A and B are shown apart, each in its own frame.
Chain A
Amino acid sequence: MRDPADNFAERKIRVIIAKPGLDGHDRGAKVLARSLMERGFDVVYTGIRQTPEDIVRAAVEEDADVIGLSVLSGSHMYQFRKVIQLMKKNGMHDVLLIGGGIIPDSDKSKLIKMGVSAVFGPGSSIDEISTFIREKSRRLK
């Protein structure tokens, strides 16, 4: 059981985990969603085959602090570009965007340049991801 003095019933850092595009490989996304829940985050899992529009709208309605996109289909450059575009349009400059999935190193640096805060590929540890979110999330700590 958690320490009862630990911020009673307070809003936690809210993370959207989403899979954009035609990509049904959701094991990683589900493991991450469950693991972040176990580390005290409120995680909204939107499921597979989401459009960037669906994801950003969900993030607006949930007032997410973090958006995490998992892409294993190879369409990551398009999906992230579109999500970043929509985030800008909605004034979501204080929302952290992170990524994961099968993304070549050469694309990782391009994504970071575009505004993705971090890309966690296979082999990343959950603690690494959770610590990163806690440190970088600008809205809630």
Chain B
Amino acid sequence: MIEEAISGDRKALSRLMTEIELGNEKITENLLGKIRGATVIGITGYTGSGKSTIISKLALRLINKGKRVGILCVDPSSPASGGSLLGDRIRMPELSRQPQAFIRSIPTGGKRGGLGYFVIDLINAMDAAGYDYIFLETVGAGQDETEIRNIADVVVMVMVPNLGDEVQVIKAGIMEVADIFVINKADTGPADEKERELLLILNRDSTGWVPQVLKTAAINDAGMDELMAAIDGYLLLHGGNQRAKIAARLKQLVRYHVEYRLDRLMSQELDSKVNELLSGKSLNEVVLQTLGELAK
């Protein structure tokens, strides 16, 4: 199945991704040797701020330069039913006929951080299948969804004018992890004011990069060339070598798989753990015993 996916079979890649979502760890293992080091562009930001539309516009530009573009869109799973309503494709009609694009929706499956448990495996699958750029769109994010920083090579934070004052901008959290800030729908509100608030907090990083602030209206294609140039500029400065990039991704892969197994165990065993605690065992004992059970 992996070989077929690598040879460009769209359906094989899709089935491969399903196997990953079903928890087939053999696929995960086998993919590790096939990773080529695709560039992962993280797009995060408020619900309804235009993340999917921006991805659609940027992806077209990359495709026109002859690149193959994979797109992973995460939407939340219901805490009540476990189901999800995945509605990001609807914003990308321009890509639905592009042979160089592949869009896949991902439910979070209840994992916090806005990305889902298998997101790195799914990136690896697209990477192995020859996609040069992979867009990773988080769930609609507000303050604390900083996980994207660990996975993407460049992080774009999409905001809108008219939402929150400068105190929201100077808070800790998501505002600290973006490399590029986009004030989208800039034609609908006080975008200059938001830009001034942002410029207050932006610091040069160790490479000399100062996070860029761009005012855009993605639906009209306004500011999209500038955004693409900003992303290219950041990647040029921070690109590093492929080996380092892959190593950073694999580090997170290990962490995600440990978290997955732990969360899965806890989802089933939490009641009995509480009972042990109530019947007199120490918290330390209960925790160590639980970690021991993971190895089984």
Which of B8-16, B28-36, B38-46, B283-291 forms part of the interface with chain A? B8-16
Q: Are B81 and A37 in contact (CB under 8 A)?
A: yes
Q: Are B81 and A2 in contact (CB under 8 A)?
A: yes
Q: Are A9 and B81 in contact (CB under 8 A)?
A: no
**Closest chain B residue to A45, Cβ basis:** B87
Bound-complex Cα distance A58 to B263 (A): 31
- Given A36-B83, A53-B97, check contact A11 B268 (CB 8 Å): no
Q: Are B109 and A44 in contact (CB under 8 A)?
A: no
Q: Are B264 and A8 in contact (CB under 8 A)?
A: yes
- Given A5-B268, A11-B21, A62-B14, check contact A40 B86 (CB 8 Å): no
Q: Are A1 and B85 in contact (CB under 8 A)?
A: no
Q: What residues of chain B lie closer than 8 Å to A61, measured between beta carbons?
A: 10, 14, 102-104
**Chain B CB within 8 A of A34 CB:** yes
Q: What residues of chain A lie closer than 8 Å to B83, measured between beta carbons?
A: 12, 36-43
Q: Are B79 and A1 in contact (CB under 8 A)?
A: yes
Bound-complex Cα distance A91 to B78 (A): 32
Q: Are A54 and B82 in contact (CB under 8 A)?
A: no
Q: Are A5 and B11 in contact (CB under 8 A)?
A: no
**Chain A CB within 8 A of B143 CB:** no
In this complex, which of B17, B82, B110 has the most chain A Cβ atoms within 10 angstroms of its Cβ?
A: B82
Number of interface residues of B (CB under 8 A): 40
**Chain B CB within 8 A of A60 CB:** yes
Please pick, from B18, B21, B270, the residue contacting A4 in the complex, using a CB distance under 8 A.
B270
Q: What residues of chain A lie closer than 8 Å to B111, measured between beta carbons?
A: 9
Q: Are A42 and B97 in contact (CB under 8 A)?
A: no
Q: Are B109 and A9 in contact (CB under 8 A)?
A: yes
Q: What residues of chain B lie closer than 8 Å to A67, measured between beta carbons?
A: none
**Chain B CB within 8 A of A90 CB:** yes
Name B36-80 residues within 8 Å CB distance of A. 77-80
Please pick, from B21, B78, B89, B267, the residue contacting A58 in the complex, using a CB distance under 8 A.
B89
Q: Are A38 and B80 in contact (CB under 8 A)?
A: yes
Q: Are B85 and A33 in contact (CB under 8 A)?
A: yes
Mask, B155-185, CB within 8 Å of A = 1, is: 0000000000000000000000000000000
Q: Are A60 and B11 in contact (CB under 8 A)?
A: yes
**Chain B CB within 8 A of A47 CB:** yes
- Given A58-B89, A61-B102, A63-B15, check contact A8 B263 (CB 8 Å): yes
Bound-complex Cα distance A47 to B83 (A): 19
**Chain B CB within 8 A of A6 CB:** yes
Q: Are A43 and B85 in contact (CB under 8 A)?
A: yes
Please pick, from B22, B80, B264, the residue contacting A11 in the complex, using a CB distance under 8 A.
B22
Q: What residues of chain B lie closer than 8 Å to A2, measured between beta carbons?
A: 79-82
18 contacts between A and B (CB under 8 A): A2-B80, A2-B82, A4-B267, A8-B110, A9-B110, A9-B111, A9-B263, A12-B107, A33-B85, A36-B83, A37-B78, A43-B86, A45-B86, A46-B89, A47-B90, A54-B93, A61-B104, A63-B15
Query: Besides A8-B263, A42-B84, A60-B10, 7 other CB < 8 A contacts?
Result: A37-B85, A38-B81, A44-B87, A46-B89, A47-B89, A50-B96, A57-B97
10 residue pairs, one from A and one from B, having the closest CB atoms: A9-B109, A47-B90, A11-B21, A63-B14, A37-B83, A37-B85, A40-B83, A40-B81, A4-B267, A63-B18
